[in-house]
């Protein structure tokens, strides 16, 4: 194995708690600044008008629907790279990273085609106001065309994560946040580009970040990254990437469905729900960092066939997740009115966001536990169960239950948020037992 590869972190030995914390903290910090980045876009959109904030909220959900294909690239690449690293297969590692990059480019082309065909219709379905639709389309059409930057960043970040490097991606996300603070007002108000300026700022930052991560990854691996197409290997990569992408896609479709139910209460309710969702994501960031750490540690140990160490990682990650929940749950309950007031003065927007955060607070640990279980199953190359569970948790059950509650019985929005939280809790319990059984099978 090359000198550069031997400099990667060996996660198959040493303290699991230390590895979890050392990997999770930089990953969480990066995600924190990335979420602040998105909140900054919301804040500047709100400065344009409340309708612009609604348009940005809707277009963000639609955009993430179309880049759902790209979402699995980071986790899928990380699983493939960490397995080869744990098995000490340096030559195979080169082919995995190059073919993963090719998969990312292919997915980007698909996203552009789907987005240009379907994005406008999806926006029209979600919004009832023409001005909000205009703002939404102004924002999303720019991001769709330049989504290759998202794909390249995802592949590079996933490979670096498998090498035990969550700091490089953290660095680009931190710098990107501060760059966004400069570019947003410059393009949006200085050059009078409006909502489109927010999108152009994102593209500039994302392409710069992708270039930086590619340079760092090439240095760590010791070879130049280029596109490579090997059909058998691409099939193996897709077996990891597609379930993870499908799981994210289901999550976004589920979010769209919930947003559609929320939209029955007005566009301001949609904006309040969207901002509340973003704020919840900020509090979930330590858990998402923990998820990244579990993926890297368990992936390397799976490649090295250290199955008992994977089980130990799972248990200790759950304990750390519980500690995170003890801190974050009260924040969602008591600080939500203050946090929402930073984004809007509209009472309906604030009240909807507060209601969502306070109800979903009781499911906070359930989200954390689900993240850890899904990461463990993906790392052990069992990505299909999370897709099945995601279908029931985020599509089928919410559709059936909320159709009855909101459409048939005409209940309030509180029942909608309560049903979502309840479904998450029941899904967590089922997934927890399933994951533990799968880990026992590996260890025997």
- Cα–Cα distance between 246 and 340 in angstroms, integer? 31
Count of the separate structural domains present in the chain:
1
In a domain, 1, yes or no: no
Is the alpha carbon torsion for 32, 33, 38, 40 positive or negative? Answer: positive
- Cα–Cα distance between 83 and 89 in angstroms, integer? 9
CA atoms within 13 A on the CB side of 111: 30
- What are the tens digits of pLDDT across the range 221-244? 777 777 888 888 888 888 888 888
pLDDT at 165: 84
Flag whether pLDDT at 88 surpasses 70.
no
Mean pLDDT, residues 183-205 taken together: 89
* 145 vs 312: which has the higher pLDDT: 312
- Cα–Cα distance between 329 and 149 in angstroms, integer? 34
In a domain, 4, yes or no: no
- What are the tens digits of pLDDT across the range 251-308? 878 887 898 899 899 888 988 998 898 889 889 988 988 988 998 899 889 888 899 9
If you average pLDDT over every residue of the chain, what do you get? 86
- Cα–Cα distance between 213 and 225 in angstroms, integer? 11
What pTM value is reported for the model? 0.79
Yes or no: say if 213 and 160 are a contact pair by the CB < 8 Å rule: yes
In a domain, 8, yes or no: no
In a domain, 2, yes or no: no
CA nearest neighbour of 374 among 274, 278, 260, 292: 292
Band (328; pLDDT cuts 50, 70, 90): very high
Poorest-confidence range of 145-159, 218-232, 382-396? 218-232
Instruction: Quickly count: other Cβ atoms within 10 Å of residue 440's Cβ.
Output: 11
Residues 6 or more apart in contact with residue 137 via CB below 8 angstroms: 59, 119, 120, 123
DSSP state for residue 392 in the 8-state scheme: I
Q: Which of 19-23, 132-136, 236-240 has the highest mean pLDDT?
A: 19-23
Flag whether pLDDT at 385 surpasses 50.
yes
Residue 69's H or E segment, with its range, is: helix 68-86
In a domain, 6, yes or no: no
- What are the tens digits of pLDDT across the range 416-435? 999 999 999 999 999 999 99
Length reported for the chain: 444
Token readout for 370 is 């689900």
Mean pLDDT, residues 154-172 taken together: 86
- Cα–Cα distance between 237 and 231 in angstroms, integer? 10
Band (83; pLDDT cuts 50, 70, 90): confident
In a domain, 201, yes or no: yes
Flag whether pLDDT at 334 surpasses 90.
yes
In a domain, 425, yes or no: yes
Question: Residue 23: exposed, middle, or buried by beta-carbon count in 10 A (0-12, 13-18, 19+)?
Answer: buried
Q: What CA dihedral angle connects 139, 140, 142 and 146, to 10 degrees?
A: 140
DSSP state for residue 345 in the 8-state scheme: -
**Residue-range definition of the domain harbouring residue 360:** 14-443
In a domain, 341, yes or no: yes
Flag whether pLDDT at 39 surpasses 80.
no
Yes or no: say if 439 and 311 are a contact pair by the CB < 8 Å rule: yes
Flag whether pLDDT at 84 surpasses 80.
no
Poorest-confidence range of 54-63, 96-105, 143-152, 398-407? 54-63
3-state secondary structure of 193: coil
Looking at the chain, the whole-number percentage of residues with pLDDT higher than 70 is: 95
DSSP 14-56: S-HHHHHHHHHHHHHHHHHHHHHHHHHHHHHHHHH-HHHHHHH
- Cα–Cα distance between 401 and 421 in angstroms, integer? 12
């Amino acid at each position: 194995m090359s000198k550069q590869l031997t400099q990667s972190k060996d996660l198959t030995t040493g303290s699991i708690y230390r590895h979890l914390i050392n990997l999770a903290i930089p990953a969480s910090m990066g995600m924190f600044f990335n979420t602040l980045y998105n909140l900054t876009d919301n804040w500047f959109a709100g400065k344009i008008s409340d309708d612009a904030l609604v348009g940005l909220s809707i277009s963000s959900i639609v955009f993430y629907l179309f880049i759902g294909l790209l979402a699995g690239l980071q986790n899928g690449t990380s699983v493939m790279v960490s397995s080869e690293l744990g098995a000490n297969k340096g030559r195979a590692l080169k082919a995995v990273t190059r073919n993963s990059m090719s998969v990312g480019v292919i997915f980007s082309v698909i996203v552009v085609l789907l987005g240009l065909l379907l994005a406008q219709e999806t926006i029209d379905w979600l919004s009832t106001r023409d001005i909000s639709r205009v703002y939404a389309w102004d924002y999303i059409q720019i991001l769709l065309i330049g989504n290759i930057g998202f794909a390249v960043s995802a592949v590079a970040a996933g490979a670096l994560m498998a090498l035990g490097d969550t700091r490089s991606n953290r660095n680009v996300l931190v710098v990107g946040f501060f760059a966004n603070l400069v570019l947003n007002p410059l393009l949006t108000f200085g050059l009078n580009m409006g909502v489109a300026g927010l999108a152009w700022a994102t593209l500039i930052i994302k392409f710069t970040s992708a270039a930086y991560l590619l340079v760092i990854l090439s240095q760590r691996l010791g070879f130049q990254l280029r596109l490579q197409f090997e059909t058998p290997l691409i099939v193996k990569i897709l077996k990891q990437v597609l379930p993870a992408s499908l799981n994210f896609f289901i999550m976004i479709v589920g979010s769209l469905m919930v947003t559609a139910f929320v939209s029955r209460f007005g566009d301001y309710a949609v904006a309040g729900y969207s901002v509340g969702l973003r704020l919840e994501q900020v509090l979930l960031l330590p858990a998402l960092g923990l998820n990244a750490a579990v993926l890297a540690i368990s992936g390397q140990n799976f490649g090295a066939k250290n199955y008992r160490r994977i089980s130990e990682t799972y248990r200790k990650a759950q304990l750390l997740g519980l500690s995170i929940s003890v801190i974050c749950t009260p924040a969602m309950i008591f600080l939500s009115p203050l946090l929402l007031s930073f984004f809007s003065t509209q009472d309906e927007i604030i009240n909807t966001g507060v209601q969502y955060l306070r109800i979903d607070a009781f499911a906070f640990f359930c989200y954390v536990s689900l993240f850890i279980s899904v990461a463990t199953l993906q790392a052990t190359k069992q990505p299909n169960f999370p897709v099945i569970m995601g279908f029931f948790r985020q599509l089928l059950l919410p559709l059936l239950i909320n159709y009855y509650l909101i459409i048939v019985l005409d209940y309030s929005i509180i029942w909608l948020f309560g049903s979502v939280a309840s479904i998450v809790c029941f899904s967590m319990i089922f997934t927890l037992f399933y994951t533990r059984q799968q880990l026992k099978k590996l260890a025997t």
